[in-house]
Structure 1
């Protein structure tokens, strides 16, 4: 296929995203009062708790099997590499631009986490339709493409909330701790640090809720205290690694305690300290349900197919999940509208994020995927390779905006970065998609 034809094929899905995003921004204007803050919050909740889990579970259940899960083993590694390499590039941007401390977590998050779920969910089916059989039969392309994209969305969601969330929280907690020192006397701060019952909510975010710590829980409580005592330091790579190791160690200790058996009161105390909603987001739960149904043949026979006894359950989930893509895209447009107001953010920082996301990462991704193909690690399907390449060329994940709102740091700056990156994505995604198709076909 000629490159110009591939360019036209790649342009169509990007234009679809752009048009729906523009509609979202248009109806969010003050003169229409349709998708303002009071409307976005409940719609965002519907997307988070209902639409996305239904979409993931229904698509994965229909398209994934135990065999295909084994074939797609490289995808989790590919996404993890894109996240970690993006974090490394983000660290370089911080050093080069001398990013203010309160924005460092935002920069790392935007450089590491790409929108590996929502945008591929629109782009890949459109590419199957527009490519005129370049990726095989349109129906087979759509079926396989939705399996790849759903898997990408599920894995990306897990990485975002387990990896990127912790990075953003570490930097946010550091700023909160410094502000707390400025607003209180030295004596009161020292007393608060010595008392484990006065640990800040920021030090544990959504994952841990610390109440009264008895003597028998001192070992686990000490792990959390070590994290909060870093308030006067600049976070280094070792701090990020240590935090993840501490979180894993903490979870491991709790699992060991449950294995040994405890009385009901102690179990209740531990369940209050660990917020499982943060560990198992609705999208993660929906992904697990879909993969279990797809991998277990008896469940698939009961739920999947027109002749399945409970096919109405699957059909209902698919109907609800179909609302996810337009709702998400409209919300992206409405949220990007905030970036037009600006926030006095330095231009070099925005340019640095754009270079990382649309030049450096895609170039590295080409080397990684082609290297995996050379060593025979990848399934030979060109569409699968296209999805893997696409994961390196996407703008920042929308969840980054949610994290900044959650912690109350860098909200305006995040809107500016999102507006700039998604505006540039119109051109960069088209060019990279055309190049990726030329590379794999």
Structure 2
């Protein structure tokens, strides 16, 4: 589950972010085109002789500026000219952060999942936070209290999206049918082939329950977090609500049929 959360909030989150920024750029381009058209029309209406001449700005020579500077005795030392290694390293980190945009790369859910991995993997940190006799048990209790509220909030957002799908704009039926076919027909069939091939090559264990859990991941409906992401960016909310409505309406039938088939395959 933690790996799926990291995948969802890194890959899917940034796909939505890229498409939302592209739509914003298209809107800005349309606005700039309209502004240029308006300026061209206004220039045709008003002649050039009405335009006022620009005021000449005062220019100052750089030599006059240097006259007010106080010369340091003996010149500047090398300590003032060269930056220290720590400052250079800090500048490189800031440049790297600007290029990669780490704030957008690491979503809050991704950071939480990574911290959970670290706490679970490092035994010293785990003993401090988790357990009856842990010294920092209050941190674990506070995090658990906050995480318990995340599930009802996500369910409320999902319910609001489903209700919005009933009243939302109509999209092409072929698009909805194509998504349902890929989600509930092609993806489970490909999952059967992938799991069987992995068993044949010895990549996974031949435990029936383990195989059933792996196969079941290919037949579940889309993640509820996608609706949360669309609301974060404010793009594609209506389309996502319509797709979520139909996929979750058919999930009970499709999941029952595929679960029966998966149990027959692993038995």
Q: TM-score, normalised by structure 2?
A: 0.68
For 2:266 and 2:4, how far apart are their aligned partners in 1? Answer: 23
Corresponding position: 1:389 with 2:215:
yes
For 1:290 and 1:174, how far apart are their aligned partners in 2? Answer: 33
1:328-355 CA-to-partner distances (Å, cap 9, x unmatched) read: 2233122211001031211111111111
Please state how far the C-alpha of 1:436 moved relative to its aligned partner.
Answer: 2.5
Gaps of 5+ in 2: 37-84
CA gap of 1:181–1:317, structure 2 versus 1, over 3 A, is closer
For 1:312 and 1:274, how far apart are their aligned partners in 2? Answer: 35
1:2-57 CA-to-partner distances (Å, cap 9, x unmatched) read: xxxxxxxxxxxxxxxxxxxxxxxxxxxxxxxxxxxxxxxxxxxxxxxxxxxxxxxx
For 1:320 and 1:327, how far apart are their aligned partners in 2? Answer: 11
> Which structure: larger Rg?
2
Please state how far the C-alpha of 1:288 moved relative to its aligned partner.
Answer: 1.9
Corresponding position: 1:372 with 2:220:
no
Mapping 1:3-402, distance limit 5 Å = 152=1, 154-185=2-33, 262=88, 264=90, 267-268=93-94, 271=97, 275-402=101-228
Q: How well do the aligned residues superpose, as a CA RMSD in angstroms?
A: 3.3
CA gap of 1:184–1:430, structure 2 versus 1, over 3 A, is same
For 2:207 and 2:86, how far apart are their aligned partners in 1? Answer: 47
Mapping 1:394-433, distance limit 5 Å = 394-433=220-259
CA gap of 1:438–1:266, structure 2 versus 1, over 3 A, is same
Please state how far the C-alpha of 1:278 moved relative to its aligned partner.
Answer: 2.6
Q: Is the contact made by 2:187 and 2:218 (CA closer than 8 Å) also made in structure 1? A: yes
1:163 is paired with a residue whose SS is: helix
Please state how far the C-alpha of 1:369 moved relative to its aligned partner.
Answer: 1.2
For 2:17 and 2:142, how far apart are their aligned partners in 1? Answer: 37
Q: Is the contact made by 2:119 and 2:126 (CA closer than 8 Å) also made in structure 1? A: yes
**For residue 105 of structure 1, what is the aligned residue in structure 2?**
none
Please state how far the C-alpha of 1:263 moved relative to its aligned partner.
Answer: 5.9
Q: TM-score, normalised by structure 1?
A: 0.43
Please state how far the C-alpha of 1:265 moved relative to its aligned partner.
Answer: 5.5
CA gap of 1:292–1:169, structure 2 versus 1, over 3 A, is closer
Paired positions, count? 220
Q: Using the TM superposition, name which of 337-346 and 296-305 deviates more.
A: 296-305
Which structure is higher in RCO with an 8 Å CA cutoff and minimum separation 6? 1
For 1:414 and 1:439, how far apart are their aligned partners in 2? Answer: 33
For 1:174 and 1:296, how far apart are their aligned partners in 2? Answer: 41
